[in-house]
Amino acid sequence: MTDPADVTAPVACRVCGGDVTEFLDLGRQPLSDRFLEPDRTEGEFFYRLAVGQCAACRMVQLTEEVPRDLMFHEEYPYHSSGSSVMREHFAGLAQRLLDTELTGPDPFVVEIGCNDGIMLKAVQDAGVRHLGFEPSSGVAKVAQAKGVRVRTDFFEEATASEVRAAEGTADVIYAANTMCHIPYLDSVFKGVDALLSPDGVFVFEDPYLGDVVAKTSFDQIYDEHFFVFSAGSVQAAAERFGFELVDVDRLPVHGGEVRYWLARRGARTPSEAVARLLAEEAAQQLGELATLRAFAANVTAIRDDLKALLTRLRAEGRTVVGYGATAKSATVTNFCGIGPDLVQFVCDTTPDKQNRLTPGMHIPVRPPTAFSESYPDYALLFAWNHAEEIMAKEQEFQQAGGRWILYVPEVHVV
């Protein structure tokens, strides 16, 4: 039998122009962060969410690009500071940059995708010169209200060059959960090349392909997550644009990430951690299409198991609600066909998501009080990456007999 993925015409890699071979089709999907007003569901935007790998540079990427203005705008609802674990994570990173990189006279740090200022607030508190790029004006205003300097704009070659001309070079350019959102990596790297000081560092952290494959966390794949990076693919991209991967940190946040440290070619000596992670990836055959096809098969199994469990619970008259109206959950609900018939509502702390409907499947979003006022029998943990934080604060739910449903790394109930 012919594998349908084999007959899909390859698209050109956004990094190197090589052939991208599709290995997973997640179907028709809406904008993952577009929460709809209940009386305005017509005309919803959909696209085909499929993911492939470049045969030349091994970069894992979407085969279709959603226009950036449809995703990042005034109403972009994601506020980074909603998680206490993430607040601590970024405060720690800011301190590390202040202690190790921002130590010269008048240091300058630029952040790509500063959101509500979760990281730059600590830099501002330390009195260090900084600038955040944030095109989503709603969250940018929240950062500005904290005293963080923000340019409400996309970081790319032109805007970065303007900053270089007006403010000089940056010692650090940093991005968290943003580089993987940017298909036009070439323009970003040219911008970094224009703006970064000769011995500066370009640091970014994003969900790690190794964790996505190991945990079958296919919900890391959605419109905003255009790339899924590995050390191998980042090293290849860095080299292409005149940079070098000089250090890596494995991070536990967001279900498993890697922080990549890039410097200009020859400016710094690569650490042993880089060689170690590259060797690990080789041993795991992370760059092999066969590995990614096996991952795709596991995704299908999770879809079938989750749908079967929810359908059975529903038939037994159990109540099930979702916890965390994450962007990731758009992939899960739309791929698995999970609507309000199976999950009554999703609770979420984000005011801009509440009293709206989830993208595509139109499940109502309610504030956390809707959860605590009348506990359901089961809670489907869409925000599984915040499991520790959420389970700690929702102990009463379990004490009342409630149970969590997780689908990473496989469907299970705790």
Q: CA-to-CA distance for 4 and 293, rounded, in angstroms?
A: 12
Contact region with Zn ion (CB under 5 A), list: 47-55, 114-122, 263-271, 281-289: 47-55
CB of 227 to ligand SAM, least distance (A): 12
Q: CA-to-CA distance for 353 and 358, rounded, in angstroms?
A: 8
Does 322 help bind ligand SAM (rule: CB under 6 A)? no
E-strand ranges in 121-240 read 129-133, 150-151, 170-176, 196-207, 227-228
Contact region with ligand SAM (CB under 6 A), list: 72-80, 123-131, 209-217, 395-403: 72-80
Question: Which residue has 């880089």 as its token pair?
Answer: 274
Tell which positions 149-178 bind ligand SAM, by CB under 6 A. 154-156, 176-178
Does 233 help bind ligand SAM (rule: CB under 6 A)? no
Show the tokens assigned to 354. Answer: 């509440």
- The DSSP line for 52-91 is EEETTT--EEESS---HHHHSSTT----GGG-HHHHHHHH
Cis peptide before 409 (omega within 30 of 0): yes
Does 56 help bind Zn ion (rule: CB under 5 A)? yes
Q: Which of 112, 221, 263, 357 binds ligand SAM (CB under 6 A)?
A: 112
Does 51 help bind Zn ion (rule: CB under 5 A)? no
Residue 291 interacts with, from Zn ion, ligand SAM, ligand TMP, none (CB under 5-8 Å by kind):
none
Does 32 help bind ligand SAM (rule: CB under 6 A)? no
Q: CA-to-CA distance for 187 and 176, rounded, in angstroms?
A: 18
Contact residues toward ligand TMP (CB under 6 A) are 82-83, 324-327, 348-350, 353, 383, 385-386, 389-390
Residue 348 interacts with, from ligand TMP, ligand SAM, Zn ion, none (CB under 5-8 Å by kind):
ligand TMP
Does 15 help bind Zn ion (rule: CB under 5 A)? yes
Distance of CA 141 to the CA centre of its chain: 21
Residue 133 interacts with, from ligand SAM, Zn ion, ligand TMP, none (CB under 5-8 Å by kind):
ligand SAM
Residue 16 interacts with, from Zn ion, ligand TMP, ligand SAM, none (CB under 5-8 Å by kind):
Zn ion
- The DSSP line for 358-373 is -TTT--BEE-HHHHHH
Does 113 help bind ligand SAM (rule: CB under 6 A)? yes
**192 or 292, CB closer to ligand SAM?**
192
Nearest to 23 by CA among 41, 45, 38, 3: 3
Show the tokens assigned to 382. Answer: 């869409």
Show the tokens assigned to 237. Answer: 């991209």
Q: Which of 29, 80, 124, 220 binds ligand SAM (CB under 6 A)?
A: 80
Q: CA-to-CA distance for 181 and 408, rounded, in angstroms?
A: 22
Question: Residues in the site for ligand SAM, rule: CB under 6 A?
Answer: 72, 76, 78, 80, 112-113, 115, 118, 133-136, 139, 154-156, 176-178, 181-182
Binding residues for Zn ion, per CB under 5 A?
13, 15-16, 18, 54, 56-57, 59
